[in-house]
Amino acid sequence: MRRILAFSGMTVRMLARRRTIWGVCALTALALLGIGLIPSYGVASSGWFVLDLGMSAMELGGLVLAIGLGAGIFPRDRETRILLPLLAVPLSRGGYISGRFLGGAFVQIAMTLLWAVALMIVMLARGLPVPGGFLVSCALLGIEGCFLLSVVVALGFRVSPPLNAPLTFLGFIICSLGRQDFISLLPGAPGAMGLLWTALPHMAVFHVKDAIMHGFRVPPGFVLLAVLYGVSYTLLTLSLAYASFSRRDLR
Amino acid sequence: MKDCALSVEELSKRYPRAGGFRRFPALSGVSFELDRGEILGFLGPNGAGKTTTIKCILGLLRPDSGVLAVFGSPPASPAVRARLGYVPENPDYDDSFTPLEYLSVFASMRGIRHSDEASRALLGRVGLSGWGGTRLRRLSKGMKQRLSLALALQSRPDLLVMDEPTGGLDPGARKEFRDIILEENGRGASIFLSSHILSEVETVCDRAVILSSGRVVASGSLDELLRSEDLWRIAYTRGGTAGSESVHRAGLQDRIDALRASGAEIEEVARHFRSLEDVFLTATEGAAR
């Protein structure tokens, strides 16, 4: 475990030094600041409007960040040949996947927290109330971001970064559809589509912003289940990545 | 199986052809051994299968058939890899890191005690004194190669696998690398050295294996490979001009008599030793035909 943690620390340092990551972070922060200007134009009920738009920006920023963090990790390691000495020292392939993912997940969560703080500052500066449960809602967005990162990392073993981004984006959209919308993609096979929808992860599980915007309390049991749901799908995705990578020849 | 550092028996590996279903053989029945404390030169033209063999040794490729053992165990086992050091060909590490950072992270991953002093000493040994805190983007290709060597030596490996370690280095740096190889061998490490530079192999290796088109076409100690039992060299002077020629043993006496009859004075008759380049070219051209 210490080896994996050492490797994930190296991954954090590597990712934190990439300009593209800071670019995504800065763009999202700018979007949040821009959303903070909305009350100036007198939009009705601007408090929940700012929160709704802000958290949507955070979710989208999380998706873009996950792609930026994960899509190039394996192809880049392979291209620079660092992969060979890494796997020649006692770092197993499972250790490689875990270390890279944990490092990426750390950056993903840190950025989500940073955006959450930025959104809170924007709301407080505008005199808007920050609802209870705001941080819980942001934490669930962080879990969602980590799951998306696991998808990007898993795809990274099979497809190039330019293909990884649209595939992840497509997956995100599909996993955000409700049951009826999903079935309507292929209305001729409602049973099979219904089963497939059930098996797919649902991004809606991580969205509690509507509840907190309207002053509802989010039950701790639901939050715990949502976290377990995200962790389970993340582990499943990483297991698939391991199955794909463990027996692969590194030519 | 014999207790040796590395044992390869009938190793075969096929690669799929791009865009097709047929597979071409990269290695076909490759066998050799590296005894403990020995330096083995691994030679072959481009595409002969040297890097494929090395990747099989490191557990990065799975052979289609054959048996491969490092210190008597499968190469992928963590216990074996803890005893390995690997110097890759043309490494290009993440250039936002410094050599000291790389050494620190690799030490943690290997589970060995790390100190800045030890890392600086190691960097000094490979000729990177004063460069420990410099980002890799500012280092030359040769300096990155030196870092590779430092990373490989960090754990004092029992088996050092080197894939073209001196490619792209200047002659001075090559000599430093050779000296380090000999020092490591002196403390008991076995060395597997894949190289294109024949003079290097001739200087440091105890034995050599020559690979061509995925097959071993020659192997043995350097004495065995360089000595030609059938050829003898006659050095002579005739009319004040020195000359020499190589003659098959069966015709040696007749040729000496003929030279003497022509007025030549025989200076020396000695067994003919070929250069490693002669051996390499003869073996690989013979295999190509």
ipTM of the complex: 0.78
Tell me, yes or no, if B162 comes closer than 8 A to chain A by beta carbon: no
Rounded to a whole number, what is the distance in Å from the CA of A141 to chain B's nearest CA? 30
pLDDT attached to residue A235? 96
State both tokens at B136.
């890799």
Tokens 């190691």 identify what position? B122
Residues of chain B neighbouring A2 (CB-CB closer than 8 A): 108, 111
**The whole model's pTM is what?**
0.82
State both tokens at A226.
């949502």
pLDDT attached to residue A143? 94
Cβ–Cβ < 8 Å for A49, A43: yes
Rounded to a whole number, what is the distance in Å from the CA of A38 to chain B's nearest CA? 40
* Weakest-pLDDT range from A51-55, B97-101, B151-155, B188-192: A51-55
Residues of chain B neighbouring A103 (CB-CB closer than 8 A): none
- Of the two residues B165 and A234, the one the predictor is more confident about is A234
Nearest residue, CB atoms, A2 vs list B88, B91, B111: B111
Residue B18 has pLDDT above 70, yes or no: no
Per-residue exposure over B67-102, b if at least 16 CB sit within 10 Å of its own CB, e if not: ebbbbeeebbeeebbebbbbbbbebebbeebbbbbb
pLDDT attached to residue A187? 86
Nearest-angstrom CA–CA distance, B183 and B258: 50
Q: Is B230 helix (H, G, I), strand (E, B) or coil?
A: strand
Residue B287 has pLDDT above 70, yes or no: no
Are B55 and A84 within 8 A, CB to CB? yes
Residues of chain A neighbouring B97 (CB-CB closer than 8 A): 10, 13-14
Residue B220 has pLDDT above 60, yes or no: yes
Nearest-angstrom CA–CA distance, B176 and B150: 13
Residues of chain B neighbouring A86 (CB-CB closer than 8 A): 109
Are B55 and A13 within 8 A, CB to CB? no
Q: Helix B171-186 crosses helix B141-153 at what angle (to 10 degrees)?
A: 0
Work out the average pLDDT over B254-258. Answer: 90
Give the model confidence (pLDDT) of B72-118 as tens digits: 888 878 788 888 899 988 877 888 889 999 999 888 888 888 788 88
Residues of chain A below pLDDT 70: 38-46, 90
Residue B288 has pLDDT above 70, yes or no: no
Residue B14 has pLDDT above 70, yes or no: yes
Beta bridge partners of B265: B237
Residues of chain A neighbouring B86 (CB-CB closer than 8 A): 84-85, 88-89
Containing B68, the helix (H) or strand (E) segment is strand B65-70
Nearest-angstrom CA–CA distance, B237 and B280: 31
Cβ–Cβ < 8 Å for B28, B215: yes
- Of the two residues B284 and A157, the one the predictor is more confident about is A157
Residue B229 has pLDDT above 70, yes or no: no
Residues of chain B neighbouring A88 (CB-CB closer than 8 A): 58, 60, 81, 84, 86, 161
Read off the pLDDT band of B286 (50, 70, 90): low
> Which chain A residue lies closest to B64 (C-alpha atoms)?
A249
Rounded to a whole number, what is the distance in Å from the CA of A22 to chain B's nearest CA? 15
Determine the straight-line distance between the first and last CA of chain B, rounded to whole angstroms.
34
Are B111 and A14 within 8 A, CB to CB? no
Nearest residue, CB atoms, B151 vs list A13, A85, A90: A85
Per-residue exposure over A121-151, b if at least 16 CB sit within 10 Å of its own CB, e if not: ebbeebebeebebbebbbbbbbbbbbbbbbb
> Which chain B residue lies closest to A3 (C-alpha atoms)?
B109
> Which chain B residue lies closest to A18 (C-alpha atoms)?
B96
> Which chain A residue lies closest to B62 (C-alpha atoms)?
A249
Are B91 and A82 within 8 A, CB to CB? yes
pLDDT attached to residue A106? 94
Tell me, yes or no, if B192 comes closer than 8 A to chain A by beta carbon: no
pLDDT attached to residue B40? 93
